[in-house]
Amino acid sequence: MTRYRPTEHFQINRYHRRYDRTTGKFIINISYQTAPPQPTQRVRTVAESFGLGLDTHHRFIIYDNVELKISPTDVVYITGESGSGKSLLLRTLERDIRQNPQLGTATNIADIKPNPHKPIIETVGNTFEQSLELLSRVGLNDAYLFLRTYHQLSEGQRYRYRIAKLIETQAQYWILDEFAATLDRDTAKIVAHNLQKQARQHKKAIIAATTHTDLLADLQPTVHIHKKFGKQIQIQYHPNHPPKQCTLLNEIQIQPGTKQDYNTLAEFHYRSHNTGAIRKIFKAVRHNELCGAIVYTYPAPAATGRKTALPHMPLTELNQKLSNIMRIVVHPKYRTIGLGQKLVRETLPQCGTPYIETTAVMAKYNPFFEKAGMKKIQQTTPPKQATAIQEVLIRVGFNPTQLASQQYVTAKLKKLAHTDLATLKQAFAQNPHPRYVKEFLHDEPYGTRSRYAQKTQEAPLHKLAKLINDTAQMLQTKIYLFWQNQTQTQTTHPKS
């Protein structure tokens, strides 16, 4: 096939490719030819200076009968310098795939058009659960990120989002030209590792082209094509074995940390900075860069699921033998490489107590606690006290989806009728959940129920707002997980 327009000085002289169904090979031949330039004064001067004939055609072979064996589950990494023909090869392979339906469908990441006006949680997946799972898979697993639009994301976050959309298409081949070219190289390695992980888990194929050769270890390609100038090309085939972990994770060390370490990263956690009574803090560090932190605290007086894991243990003994994972925060740059799992796995035996528990919402969508060695005991349901409060809040005009917003709740309380305010205070008085009681009687260890009821009737608006925010958190469905240090508990064997 020949493409030619009279005004062009650079034309494809020979373009032939085919897909051999019998062998499963892509066979490609491409060459270029320069046409004689228009004889302007400068062109004539160049011709005279270098002894060139103006009527001479020059032919350049780019791909000479190249045979590529690519399966629907391969990870293909095309590298080479700019202008060597990488993108041309990628487009050729994409065209062949689209013209041979038996190979499956193909989606080019460049064809994904994000919705610029809606929060990303509304633009991925058919359901809320699917959206959370897809975004979590690519590292956009932060409550605040869910509410941002595409244009409010960083360049690295946008790339992760487009990968989530690639997964959503269910296409068999994922096509990526100039792969991660605009990202810093650390982020590019993380994106590459996550991309191949998702492709291999979903049994999809990747065909990615880039000038960068530093992604080999994190992509672990099954087919590596390195294109040089002219017709030189190197093709290497490898077994389809995923990398054990991202190369950056090898460089991260877990060390004892401080409250200041957590505070430095706390802005990346959707919950408040208040962590309660801290027992220990550990940090993740890479080349003096703070990458993550985990906070262990003393246990709360009550936790749904604890009676199954530790039956009949008094509170005084719980304080000695049980710790709670209160916070885990990972810098957005280092998400999806297994750092959260590493923080949990390596610090569990260093916490100093034989038993450790945690209750987490994200554990429903990302089982990294279980991968780190903790056991899922049960999925918690909202306590009856919080459910009763929610019903009253709805009845007096609150939007149940905005109960976690301090600004919304405070504004609503200020406009509430006196009778509705009294009804709300009475509802809290009649539903003394330990978390509500603690807000009023934390400095009164022997406070009575009647004392709590009195406090709720006297509560100022800011205290009521805090109780409502607590209610929003209690209404979440969470997972209770538990860990037992076998070396410290030789005789006690809690149920799991």
Whether 15 has a pLDDT exceeding 70, the answer reads no
Across 466-484, average pLDDT: 91
Q: Residue 223's beta-bridge partner residues?
A: 76, 237
Whether 35 has a pLDDT exceeding 70, the answer reads no
Whether 238 has a pLDDT exceeding 50, the answer reads yes
Residue 61 vs residues 4, 13, 85, 226, 298: alpha-carbon distances, Å:
17, 10, 10, 16, 70
Tokens of 338: 């297994």
Tell me what pLDDT residue 267 has: 87
List all residues 6 or more positions away from 23 whose beta carbon is below 8 Å from its beta carbon: 69
**Residues 225/250, Cβ–Cβ less than 8 Å:** no
**Residues 141/361, Cβ–Cβ less than 8 Å:** no
Tell me what pLDDT residue 30 has: 78
Across 356-366, average pLDDT: 84
Across 422-433, average pLDDT: 93
Of 30-39, 285-294, 411-420, the least confident: 30-39
Residue 24 vs residues 19, 162, 240, 282: alpha-carbon distances, Å:
7, 29, 17, 52
Tell me what pLDDT residue 2 has: 38
Tell me what pLDDT residue 325 has: 97
Whether 319 has a pLDDT exceeding 80, the answer reads yes
Confidence of residue 477 (pLDDT cuts 50, 70, 90): confident
Across 238-256, average pLDDT: 96
Task: Summarize pLDDT for 142-176 with one digit per residue, the tens.
Answer: 777 888 999 999 998 999 999 999 999 999 999 99
**Residues 236/211, Cβ–Cβ less than 8 Å:** no
Tell me what pLDDT residue 36 has: 59
Tell me what pLDDT residue 139 has: 85
Q: What's the whole-model pTM score?
A: 0.77
Across 35-60, average pLDDT: 71
3-state secondary structure the chain: CCCCCCCCCEEEEEEEEEEECCCCEEEEEEEEEECCCCCCHHHHHHHHHHCCCCCCCEEEEEEEEEEEECCCCCEEEEEECCCCCHHHHHHHHHHHHHHCHHHCCEEEHHHCCCCCCCCHHHCCCCCHHHHHHHHHHCCCCCHHHHCCCHHHCCHHHHHHHHHHHHHHHCCCEEEECCCCCCCCHHHHHHHHHHHHHHHHHHCCEEEEEECCCCCHHHHCCCEEEEECCCCCEEEEECCCCCCCCCHHHHHCEEEECCHHHHHHHHHHCCCCCCCCCEEEEEEEEECCEEEEEEEEECCCCCCCCHHHHCCCCCHHHHHHHEEEEEEEEECHHHCCCCHHHHHHHHHHHHCCCCEEEEEECHHHCCCHHHHCCCEEEEEECCCHHHHHHHHHHHHCCCCHHHCCCHHHHHHHHHHCCHHHHHHHHHHHHHCCCHHHHHHHHCCCCCCCHHHHHHHHHHCCHHHHHHHHHHHHHHCCCEEEEEEECCCCCCCCCCCC
Confidence of residue 447 (pLDDT cuts 50, 70, 90): low
Rounded CA gap, 228 and 481, in Å? 53
Tokens of 125: 């997946």
Confidence of residue 5 (pLDDT cuts 50, 70, 90): very low
Whether 271 has a pLDDT exceeding 70, the answer reads no
Tell me what pLDDT residue 473 has: 83
- Computed over every residue of the chain, the mean pLDDT equals 87
Which has the higher per-residue pLDDT, 219 or 83? Answer: 219
What percent of the chain has pLDDT above 70? 90
Whether 33 has a pLDDT exceeding 70, the answer reads no
Could you tell me the domains of the chain? Answer: 70-237 (3.40.50.300), 252-381+480-484 (3.40.630.30), 384-474 (no CATH)
Tell me what pLDDT residue 242 has: 95
**Residues 91/85, Cβ–Cβ less than 8 Å:** no
List all residues 6 or more positions away from 416 whose beta carbon is below 8 Å from its beta carbon: 396, 397, 424
Whether 273 has a pLDDT exceeding 70, the answer reads no
Across 34-60, average pLDDT: 71
Q: Which of 146, 58, 131 is nearest to 404 (CA)?
A: 146
Whether 125 has a pLDDT exceeding 80, the answer reads yes
Across 190-195, average pLDDT: 94
Whether 202 has a pLDDT exceeding 90, the answer reads yes
Q: Which of 402, 379, 392 is nearest to 308 (CA)?
A: 379
Instruction: Compute CA 202 distance to the chain's CA centroid, rounded to the nearest angstrom.
Output: 16
Tell me what pLDDT residue 205 has: 97
List all residues 6 or more positions away from 167 whose beta carbon is below 8 Å from its beta carbon: 134, 137, 138, 198, 202
**Residues 242/215, Cβ–Cβ less than 8 Å:** no
Tell me what pLDDT residue 444 has: 55
Q: Which of 307, 310, 305, 264 is nearest to 283 (CA)?
A: 264
Q: Which of 63, 67, 59 is nearest to 29 (CA)?
A: 63
Tell me what pLDDT residue 32 has: 65
Which has the higher per-residue pLDDT, 342 or 402? Answer: 342
Confidence of residue 284 (pLDDT cuts 50, 70, 90): very high
Rounded CA gap, 422 and 417, in Å? 9
Which has the higher per-residue pLDDT, 95 or 477? Answer: 95
Across 416-437, average pLDDT: 92
Angle at 89 between CA 210 and CA 28, to 5 degrees: 150
Tell me what pLDDT residue 10 has: 37
Exposed e or buried b for every residue in 262-287, given b needs 16+ CB within 10 A? bebbbebbeeeeebeeebbbbbbbbe
Which has the higher per-residue pLDDT, 469 or 30? Answer: 469
Q: Which of 373, 347, 363, 326 is nearest to 496 (CA)?
A: 373
Tell me what pLDDT residue 80 has: 93
